[in-house]
Amino acid sequence: MRIAFLGLGIMGGSMAANLVKAGHSVTTWNRTPGKTVPGAQSSATPAAAAKGAEVVWLCVSDTDAVEHVLFGQDGAAGSLAPGAIIADSSTISPSASRRFAQELQKKGIDFVDAPVTGSKIGAAEATLIFIVGGREEVVAKLQPLFMVMGKQAIHIGDIGMGEAAKLAMNLQIALIYQGFAEGLTLARKLGVKEEALFSLIQASMIRSGVVEYKMPFVRKRDYSPNFPVRLMRKDIQLMLEASNFRRLKP
C-alpha cells in the first residue's frame, strides 16, 4: 500500500520502518528535520507526504499536534482523495478524535483512532497492541498493517473509543509505575535488597507485567525514556478533562 507516516519519534520511527520491511511504499514526515527511515522517502510537509497515499498514519505528541498535522498549513487532509484512511496512533482527546473524524467525513476520508501499548521495545519488535476505535469495515482494511507493526488490534468500538480505552489503561499504568518506584525507594531506605524485593513481587499477587518490563532497566540503571514523564502528564490531563473533573495547575 501507499502509506504516509507522520511522526518519527520514540514509537513512530520503528513503526514506519516495519511497514517498509513488509514491502509497503512509505513516505515520511517529521516535525524536527533530519529523522529518516531507511527505504522510505522523506517529505518536507505533511501535505507532501500524504499526496497520493491510501493510508496516512499519525504518531505525534498530543491533540494540538494531530490537529495541526491534519488541518493546519500544509496539513495532510488537503492532499487526500475520497476513500483514503487516516489512522491516528497518538494518544489524544476522545472527543477531539470524533471531531476530526466528522470534519474528514465531509471530504470522504475515513478516520480511525488507534493508540498503542507496548512502549519503545514493542514498536521496534513489532509486538504493539493497537487499541482501535472506528467503523468495523474500515478497521478490517487496516488489519494487515496492524499485524505488520504489532501482534494484536483490539477493536473497542466507534471512533473515540480507542482513545478512551487507552486513557483508562494509562491511568492504571501510571499508578503501577508510581507504586513500584515508591515501594523500591522505601525498600532501599529500610535495607531490603533489590533482588529480594523483585523476587517477592514476582511471587505475590502484586506481580505485574508493567513492573516485570521495568525490572531489567532498574537492574542496569538504564533510565533512558521509553515514555517521557511529560507525555504521561499530558495523558493525565486528558483523563481529567474526559471525566469533567478539573485541570492540572501549570
3-state SS class at 201:
helix
Task: Indicate the helix (H) or strand (E) that contains 28.
Answer: strand 25-29
Q: Comparing C-alpha atoms, which of 120, 121, 114 is closest to residue 152? A: 114
Contacts of 215 (CB under 8 A, 6+ apart): 198
Between CA 5 and CA 98 the distance in angstroms is 21
Instruction: Pull the grid cell for residue 40.
Output: 522510505
59: left (phi over 0), alpha (psi -120 to 50) or beta: beta
Active-site option among 166, 193, 214, 220: 166
Contacts of 31 (CB under 8 A, 6+ apart): 7, 60, 65
Q: Contact 7/90 with Cβ under 8 angstroms?
A: yes
Between CA 97 and CA 40 the distance in angstroms is 27
Between CA 32 and CA 152 the distance in angstroms is 30
3-state SS class at 27:
strand
Q: Contact 55/1 with Cβ under 8 angstroms?
A: yes
* Residue 166 appears among annotated catalytic residues: yes
Q: Which residues are catalytic?
A: 166
